[in-house]
Amino acid sequence: MRTNISVLVLLTTLFPLRLVAQEEVTQEPAIVIQGVRFTLDQAIDYVLRNNLTLQAARYDVVMSDTGEKKYEKKFAPVINGEGRYTRTVNPINLQTAFGNESQQMDLSLSVSKLFTSGTMVTAGVRDTFFEVLNAPGFNNGLIRITPDPGFHKPALFVTVQQELLKNYFGYSDRRQMEVMKSQGLAQRSAAINLLSQLVVQVLVDYWQVTVQASALENAILEERSTRNVRNIVANNTRLGLAENFELNQYNSMLENAIAKRKIAEQQLIDAQRKMLRSINMPPDTRIEGITELVDTLPADLEPEKALKAAFQKRVDYLNAKQALERARLQLEIEENNALPSLTASFSLTTQGQNQVLWPALANTGTLDFPIWAVGVKMSYPLWDEEIRVNTRNARFAITQAKMQLENLTKEITDEVTSRLESVKMLHHVLQNSRQAAREAELYYERLLVRVRQGKFNSVAVKQALDNLVLLKQKELEARVNYNVALLQFDLAKNEVFERYNVDVEKYLKDIK
C-alpha cells in the first residue's frame, strides 16, 4: 500500500496538463516559426517567396511562352541590304572607241514581312550606277560620238505574294500559332499547379514537425515518469516492500521509454530539417508552438459540386482538353500541307535616271517608266511519304488524346470522390480519437479515486497514464491528418490558391 501511495502521488504530479489544453482549437489555421505566428495565408506567401524549388518553378512559368515567341519570329519584318562594286576591263576590239574599262555599283535596301494572312509583302529601293572609264569617243569627220557619262538608275519596287492553296491566306500559320499558344498555356498551368503542390507539401511538413514535437514531449514525459516510478520501486525493493520481479518489469519499461525518446528526438530533427529546407531558412531556426488546426467539417462537401469545380479548374484535365484540340488543329494543318502550293504574285517597279542620285530618285516617283508584273507559280511534290505519314499520325494523335481525356476523366472522378470521402472519414476519426482521449482521461481520473481506496495498484495507474498519453498523441495526429485531407481535397479541385486568396501573378512579376 505504501508503494501504491508513493507512485500515486508521483503520477498525479507528473500528469501533463498540456494534453488537456490540446483540445482547445482555434478556427484560424496558423504556424509558428521563430516565435512569430503566421496565418496560413501569410505562411503560403512566405513559402512562395523563399522556397528555392518554387523560385525556380516561377522561371518555368515565365518561360512557358518560348515556343509561341519563337514562332512569331516568322512574322517579324526583315530588312535586307546589299551593295556590290564591279570593275570590268575588256580586251581591245572594235568597241574600244566606247571604252574597254567600266565600273558599276549596285545598291539595294528593302523590307519584307509575312502576315498571318499568308501574304508576303516586299518593298524597297535599288540603284545601279554604270560608268565607262576610258572611252575616247568616235570622230571620223562626219559623225562625232561622245561617250555617255555615268548615270544613276534607281528604282522603287513593291512585290506582293499570296498563297492560294497550301496555307491559303495563312490557314496553317494561324492554326500553328494556336497550337503554340495552347502549348505555352499548358506549360504555364502545369508550372503553377506545381507551385500549389509544393505549398501543400510545405504545410504538411510543418504539421509533421508539430506531430513529432508532441511525440517527443510525450516520450520525455513517459521516460521521466517511468524512471521515477522505477526508482521508487527499486527503493521499496531494498526495503522489502516490493518484489524483485516488479523492479524487473519497471527496468524493462524504462529501457523501452528511453529508446522511444531517442527515436522521437531523431524524427523531430529530421522533420525540422526538411521543413526548414523547404522554406529556405537557416537550420538553426526555431520552430515551436502547437499548430492551430481546423477541426470543423466544411459546408461545401457535395460530390456534384466538387466534381464540377475539379473539371473546371484541374490543370491536367484542362490541359488534356487542350491537347485534344491541338491534335485536331494539327490534323487540319497536315491536311492543308498536303495541298499543292499555288502562289500568285504582283510587282510594281518605277525607274528613274540621272547623273546625280537624288534627282534620279525623284524621277522614280513620277511613274514615267513603270514595270508591271503578274505571275502564278505552282508546285507539288510527287510520292511524298512525309506528307502521308504526318497526316496519318495526326489522325492517330486525335484518337490517343480522346482516350487520354476519357481515362483522365475517370481518374479525376475517382480522386475527387476519394478525397471527399477521406475528409468525411478522417473527420469522423478525429471525433472518435477525441472521444477516446476523453474517455481515457475520465478513466484515469476515476482510477485515481479507486487507487486512494486501495482497490488498484500503481501498475494500473501507470498503464492508464500511458494510454492517455498515447490517445492524446493519436488525437493530435488525427487532427493533422484531417487538415492534410482538407488540403488534398482542395488540391484535387485545384483550389489551394483560391482557398487562401493567393495571387500567383503577383509573384511572377518579380521575375527579371
Cβ neighbours around 206 below 10 Å, total: 26
Asked if residue 46 belongs to a domain, the reply is yes
Asked if residue 58 belongs to a domain, the reply is yes
Average pLDDT, the chain: 82
Helical residues (DSSP H) of 279-314, grouped into ranges: 303-313
- SS3 for 468? helix
Nearest to 287 by CA among 303, 302, 277, 275: 275
61 in the same domain as 50:
yes
Q: Please compute the mean of the pLDDT values over residues 251-265 and round it to a whole number.
A: 92
Residue, of 421 and 239, whose pLDDT is higher: 421
| 174-180, long-range: CB < 8 A, 24+ apart | 174/116, 175/329, 175/330, 175/332, 175/333, 176/71, 176/329, 176/333, 177/68, 177/71, 177/72, 177/116, 178/326, 178/329, 179/326, 179/329, 179/330, 179/333, 180/67, 180/68, 180/71
Share of the chain above pLDDT 90, in %: 31
Write the pLDDT tens digit of every residue in 170-221: 888 889 889 988 888 888 888 788 878 887 887 788 788 888 888 898 889 8
287 in the same domain as 210:
yes
Q: Is the pLDDT of residue 21 over 50?
A: no
Cell numbers given for 213: 514535437
218 in the same domain as 108:
no
Residue 466 near residue 229, CB atoms below 8 Å: no
pLDDT at 373: 93
298 in the same domain as 253:
yes
Its pTM stands at: 0.73
Q: Please compute the mean of the pLDDT values over residues 329-344 and round it to a whole number.
A: 92
191 in the same domain as 293:
yes
| 103-107, long-range: CB < 8 A, 24+ apart | 103/130, 103/131, 103/133, 104/128, 104/129, 104/130, 104/131, 105/129, 106/82, 107/82, 107/83
Quick one: pLDDT band at residue 137, thresholds 50, 70, 90?
low
Residue, of 463 and 490, whose pLDDT is higher: 490
Quick one: pLDDT band at residue 290, thresholds 50, 70, 90?
low
CB hemisphere CA count around 311 (13 angstroms): 15
Kindly report which listed range (38-47, 81-90, 264-273, 364-373) carries the lowest average pLDDT score.
38-47
457 in the same domain as 354:
no
Q: Please compute the mean of the pLDDT values over residues 478-507 and round it to a whole number.
A: 85
Q: Is the pLDDT of residue 19 over 60?
A: no
CA 76 to chain centre: 29
Asked if residue 433 belongs to a domain, the reply is yes
419 in the same domain as 406:
yes
Quick one: pLDDT band at residue 2, thresholds 50, 70, 90?
very low
Q: Indicate which CATH number applies to the domain containing 229.
A: 1.20.1600.10
CA 275 to chain centre: 21
Quick one: pLDDT band at residue 43, thresholds 50, 70, 90?
confident
Element (H, E) at 462: helix 458-492
Residue, of 61 and 258, whose pLDDT is higher: 258
Dist. CA 30–CA 25, nearest whole Å: 11
Q: Rounded to whole angstroms, what are the CA distances from 162 to 165, 215, 291, 347, 373?
A: 9, 76, 68, 12, 14
Q: Rounded to whole angstroms, what are the CA distances from 130 to 86, 156, 287, 357, 478?
A: 9, 18, 86, 12, 94
Q: Is the pLDDT of residue 355 over 90?
A: no
445 in the same domain as 299:
yes
Q: Which residues partner with 103 through β-bridges?
A: 87, 131
Residue, of 292 and 351, whose pLDDT is higher: 351
Amino acid at 122: T
Residue 130 near residue 101, CB atoms below 8 Å: no
To which residue does cell 500568285 refer? Answer: 344
187 in the same domain as 168:
no
Q: Is the pLDDT of residue 282 over 90?
A: no
Asked if residue 331 belongs to a domain, the reply is no
Provide the number of structural domains found in the chain.
2
254 in the same domain as 295:
yes
The C-alpha R_g of the chain, in whole angstroms, comes to: 43
Asked if residue 139 belongs to a domain, the reply is no
Domain range spanning residue 482? 2-67+177-323+397-508
Asked if residue 332 belongs to a domain, the reply is no
Query: Highest-confidence range of 91-105, 429-443, 498-512, by mean pLDDT?
Result: 429-443
Q: Which residues partner with 86 through β-bridges?
A: 104
Q: Rounded to whole angstroms, what are the CA distances from 76 to 84, 112, 114, 184, 359?
A: 26, 9, 7, 20, 33
Asked if residue 228 belongs to a domain, the reply is yes
Q: Is the pLDDT of residue 53 over 80?
A: no
Q: Is the pLDDT of residue 311 over 90?
A: yes
482 in the same domain as 407:
yes
57 in the same domain as 11:
yes
Q: Is the pLDDT of residue 17 over 80?
A: no
Asked if residue 112 belongs to a domain, the reply is yes
